[in-house]
Structure 1
Amino acid sequence: MSTPVNTPARQPLLAVRNLEVTYAGGAAAVRGVDLSLDAGQKLGIAGESGCGKSTLALALLRLLPAGTRTSGEILLDGEDVLTMKWGRVRAVRWAGASIVFQGAMHSLNAVHRIGDQIAEPILLHKKATPAAARRKTGELLEHVGLPAARADAYPHELSGGQRQRVMIAMALACDPRLVIADEPTTALDVMIQAQILRLIEQLVSEQELGLLMISHDLAVLADTCDRLAVMYAGRIVEEGPARQVYDN
């Protein structure tokens, strides 16, 4: 009889272990959070305003303000983001993991053309030539359903849905393995929201990305994500298959 071969367990793309975040002044925003996410998987984080969802998202890429105390582990492809040297953190942002914030006008620079803003991380992280970065920018815009010619537009010349597509294109510019979407459709009307959600699902499926999507809207997460975790007062209080959590 043949001896069974023990294959090592596959390492998750993202593993968060006992994450604690306390703001200056002593306000504990995240309390002992554990979660994991595989490549090609979509995990939704739901919860009321102030429960710690956005703090969790910012902590994953060390984007929290100075004076914030963070402990635990944030393992991205097995490497702890919290113990990385600053140069390594900068390399991981955009190229390893990227984030799509809510309200694109708060993230886009109003005085620069959108093409230049998408090209910036490509020039920085991919060391591409300006011509190659322009080509890649046009491809990214078309990938998210915008004409390449819109690269010359300023943010105020685009609709809310178009600006959010630009943010998604920017998040994909350096081929990250993980995309964090922090309420990416909150400010959009229902029809544009549905279009953006379908686009995000399509991109995750095509590129085998891991998606961590944050929202206060359980219905949106249940329709978009494979798994759903509910946060309350800084903790994960429920987690499971998205439709099961939503129905219960």
Structure 2
Amino acid sequence: MSPLGFDPAAAPRGVSRAVLPDGRPVVVKRDVGAAAEAAGLRWLRVPGGPAVPEVLAAEADWLVEAEVPAGTPTRAAAEGFGRRLAALHAAGAPACGSPPPGGPVDARIGGTAMRNEPGPTWPAWFVEHRIRPYLHAVPDPGPVEEVCTRIEELAGPPEPPARLHGDLWSGNVLWSPSGVWLIDPAAHGGHRETDLAMLALFGLPHLDTVLAAYDEVAPLADGRAARVPLHQLFPLLVHAVLFGGGYAHQAVEAARQALRAR
């Protein structure tokens, strides 16, 4: 018998729960992206950073992680999260697009492919690996293509590569009695404004508090608010690939907003 008390490879596809012999509740995931997720969770555990579930075991297509107890969003937790997220980003990455150590180049975000191929500069890498691979999902690619053409002037001041969660929507931010925990990463090196823009995309409790605390620790470059639509373009394109419809139109509108900001 496995030390876990069960065989994770026999668990149902997707997400399930189990209890270890010592009584600890765990989350079991069986998915083609398990190896990348496990590597990401380990990489995101940095001193002073947000809490991340411990990976107890992992193989190519499954992982077992500690379950996070549920809690309620509070302003105190949001302030702590903002400061800890700044610490995570400051831990850095070798390059934009760098995968976590041990993580595959061909990773996943949600249910679609995401390639973690390092690039020399954020603007060129963002266009090549975070916009163009998903353009087929957009019925009117003109504004998005213009963003690609003008990316250097839209990107803002250059910054060193940050260590990103990479899929930081509100559903992957868990509020527990001990504070905020991050789950389900699509971790890679990138621009820190991408994580922050994704927090705003689908709404997060106390987001203003999170951003204010973050900015106290690691001030953001002038013009960040105008660049939010640019950084939201990637998750909107991913959603357009996965779900089509309104997300494709939202992606085009985000591109138009990014262009108007200049």
Q: TM-score, normalised by structure 2?
A: 0.27
Task: Report which of the two has the higher share of strand.
Answer: 1
